[in-house]
Structure 1
Amino acid sequence: MTRSERDYLQMVAQLGCIACRINGLAGVSAEVYHQRQGTGMGRRASHFDTMPLCPGHHRFYDDAIHVNASRFVQRYGQEEELVRQTRSDVELYRQSFVG
């Protein structure tokens, strides 16, 4: 993993869970989820194809992406959309520290 990838993943996690933010709850601790769409057959998602999810929305809740992906998508949107939103949020996060 490159320094750029590591720095990006740290910023993603610091954004807080994207699903919780959609639900109106800001600042919920998050871990990094790697997009699954477009992967498989030996292809892994890039570290830049990620979004922040709390453990509940990642693995435990009834609408968690690994528990019921269709319900997750119905409530929060397609993975690609959420990854694009995360990239935009990371850029805003970076700009807030630059000045």
Structure 2
Amino acid sequence: MATQEEKNYMHAVARLGCICCRNTLFKATPAQVHHKRKGIGKGQRASHFDTMPLCPDHHLYGSDAVHKNYTAFVARYGTEEALIEQTRREVEQWRSQFVGNGGPL
């Protein structure tokens, strides 16, 4: 079960819009939260802080979706680690825009 802090973080991640769409098409599309897969055992989930926002196409359904063709995803968009680091910076920047710097949540 996610803590309130984790829920707030994942909410902020999803609000950013798909990181792949933003990095390649310069537009935000509605996003789902993707948990890091690399280095995580089967049946386990990464920390809720090891996440990035992906639209359904980049997450599950597209020909280069992270869950469908991991190798193609990494070749086109970069590693999960790099995209997660970018997401962390963007969440921090987004939250800093609010009074008290805690974000709206």
Task: Judge same fold: TM > 0.5, yes or no.
Answer: yes
In structure 2, stretches of 5+ residues that fail to align are none
Partner of 1:53 in structure 2?
A: 54
Say whether 1:27 aligns with 2:31: no
Q: Please list, as runs of the form range in 1=range in 2, the aligned pairs for 1:78-97 lying within 5 A after superposition.
A: 78-97=79-98
For normalisation by structure 1, the TM-score amounts to 0.93
Q: Distance in 1 between matches of 2:43 and 2:69?
A: 23
Q: Which runs of 4+ in 1 moved over 2 A?
A: 41-44
In structure 1, stretches of 5+ residues that fail to align are none
What do the CA deviations read for 1:56-78 (whole angstroms, capped 9, x no partner)?
10011111101111111011100
What do the CA deviations read for 1:37-62 (whole angstroms, capped 9, x no partner)?
12105642000000000001001111
Partner of 1:36 in structure 2?
A: 37
Q: Distance in 1 between matches of 2:12 and 2:79?
A: 21
Partner of 2:9 in structure 1?
A: 8
Three-state SS of the structure 1 residue aligned to 2:45 is coil
For normalisation by structure 2, the TM-score amounts to 0.88
Q: Distance in 2 between matches of 1:44 and 1:19?
A: 21
What is the CA distance between 1:12 and its match in structure 2?
Answer: 0.2
| Residues 30 and 42 of structure 1, relative CA distance in 2, 3 Å threshold | closer
Three-state SS of the structure 2 residue aligned to 1:23 is helix
- Over the matched positions of the two proteins, sequence identity in percent amounts to 53
The RMSD of aligned alpha carbons is 1.3
